[in-house]
Structure 1
């Protein structure tokens, strides 16, 4: 397939918005288009690819397996475009030596952001632009670019990795759910990004009670919030749940054990980090020490 055979970008935008919003009408509102215009773009995209992307479910739409694959690809591509455009704008405008930090959503929301004010208090002259996203890094990235990632994907020689802390996971729940957990009468909360996490953990913890049901969440930060609300037991990375465990919102009866992966700071090879980026990198490493042992 040639690049000239790719579908129109407007059609892909209409598809991604519909998949994210769950309806053509909501996508039309977001894109400032008519319902009919979005429908035409979806039909044209489905025809161009040659597969059905949605199926009707009651009064709504549900993605087909092909649609789910395309949705994920669109999200990654649009995230990459946004990061690249942000980097270009920052470079062109020279925004006060701003450091661009790309960080996975759940880690950003539940670990980085609650701590970032400490860095800003210590270094008030350093501007940090936080870009939320995960997975492979395709941005241009210069000396003022850092990415915090769980290293579960391959990196080519354009990038350098500074290891931070291992990924350690364990079941977390509110204290009142402990008895139900011990009896095996609990809902196991899992994320769609790691659907096999519970199977892997249970395989290495033969003495752990098995769940009666499983429920999937889109992201780890949603899963931990659901666990805090008493909706089930989440199998959470320590980095995502550490503040809730330390604050006694959640208990972790089995602790947290390594799953073999880890987190790292990634930056462009052959390009020296700017002084401000180096300050931020050193601070992140310091904050991450609490997650090592």
Structure 2
């Protein structure tokens, strides 16, 4: 922290730069104008560089002043936002939950549906965390984990969300050219997702084996998560082993197409599990009830990859 000047000096500088006047800054900060001026001088001495060009009236920020202003606006803004979040959470802790799931599930399935949960429970607040390992698990602060597998897990309360299934997907023109021939996948550029073996997600190797297809001889592309891989498929880079949870919405929009004859169920589903606690919070139960209903609606929606 010794590398930083006193926070009061940065606050005074931010006010002067933002308002364009020491008089207005002194009024906002509820201090005298000389006190503001002294703070600016002290900050300049600490930096060893002038922050305002006082040879013109009104004084204008120097290049150094503009650089510092961008940094202080961003930094003070983040601090203010964090304080607001902390105060809101402290005052409404019983109406806030944190959900852990994969980045693909969060981006393409959960987040687009959360407005429906807020419509059902207007005073709720939901934070969604996608762990870097893309393997949702319970840790400090996590109330609900959405996980893929044969399930169910043994936490205190687990509900099945929907059955998952996989299918080759790609740009409509590319899929149309295959004419439903799964054997032709062997010569196509296949898009892979690098996933830890422990997370249970089958890939192209498992899919091709399940369908009795030979190993591919075409080029391959590998990405770290399904968001990147889906974008590559949208860009026409190849064919992705798509999943309902990630690609159903994009398929219904017609931006991707599926080889419908290639739909395969690995016998796994998405499950929502609540961490075991002596006194379960009502909001957690409300979220589990909602996501179970949302998953049932998803299962009933029909269409591709259903």
Q: Could you tell me which residue of structure 1 aligns to residue 19 of structure 2?
A: none
Q: Aligned to 2:267, what secondary structure does the other structure show?
A: strand
Q: 1:193, CA displacement in angstroms?
A: 0.6
Q: 1:115, CA displacement in angstroms?
A: 1.4
Q: Deviations over 1:125-155 (max 9, x none)?
A: 111122222425241458xx11111137996
Is 1:274 equivalent to 2:276 in the alignment?
no
Q: 1:164 aligns with which of 161, 169, 185?
A: 161
What are the within-5 Å matches in structure 2 for residues 118-137 of structure 1?
118-133=116-131, 134-135=134-135, 137=137
Q: 1:94, CA displacement in angstroms?
A: 4.8
Please state which structure has a larger fraction of its residues in strand: 1
Q: 1:234, CA displacement in angstroms?
A: 0.3
Separation in structure 1 between the aligned mates of residue 257 and residue 120 of structure 2, nearest angstrom: 32
Q: Deviations over 1:60-79 (max 9, x none)?
A: xxxxxxxxxxxxxxxxxxxx
The 1:209–1:189 alpha-carbon spacing in structure 2 relative to 1, beyond 3 Å, is same
Larger radius of gyration between Structure 1 and Structure 2: 2
Q: Could you tell me which residue of structure 2 aligns to residue 173 of structure 1?
A: 170
Separation in structure 2 between the aligned mates of residue 194 and residue 176 of structure 1, nearest angstrom: 32
Separation in structure 2 between the aligned mates of residue 94 and residue 151 of structure 1, nearest angstrom: 33
Gaps of 5+ in 1: 1-87
Aligned length: 203
Is 1:101 equivalent to 2:123 in the alignment?
no
The 1:123–1:255 alpha-carbon spacing in structure 2 relative to 1, beyond 3 Å, is farther
Q: Aligned to 1:212, what secondary structure does the other structure show?
A: coil
Contact 1:238 1:291 survives alignment (8 Å): no
The 1:151–1:175 alpha-carbon spacing in structure 2 relative to 1, beyond 3 Å, is same
Q: 1:291 aligns with which of 272, 287, 299?
A: 299
Q: Aligned to 2:212, what secondary structure does the other structure show?
A: coil
The answer to which of 212-221 and 129-138 deviates more is 129-138
Q: Could you tell me which residue of structure 1 aligns to residue 236 of structure 2?
A: 230
Q: Could you tell me which residue of structure 1 aligns to residue 267 of structure 2?
A: 260
Separation in structure 1 between the aligned mates of residue 87 and residue 195 of structure 2, nearest angstrom: 31
TM score, norm. by length of structure 2: 0.57
Q: Deviations over 1:144-184 (max 9, x none)?
A: x11111137996x5554322222211100111102554444
Q: Deviations over 1:92-148 (max 9, x none)?
A: 665362111112111000111111122223322111122222425241458xx1111
Separation in structure 2 between the aligned mates of residue 154 and residue 291 of structure 1, nearest angstrom: 18
Separation in structure 2 between the aligned mates of residue 180 and residue 151 of structure 1, nearest angstrom: 33
Q: 1:204 aligns with which of 206, 210, 228?
A: 210
Contact 1:169 1:236 survives alignment (8 Å): yes
Gaps of 5+ in 2: 1-85, 301-305
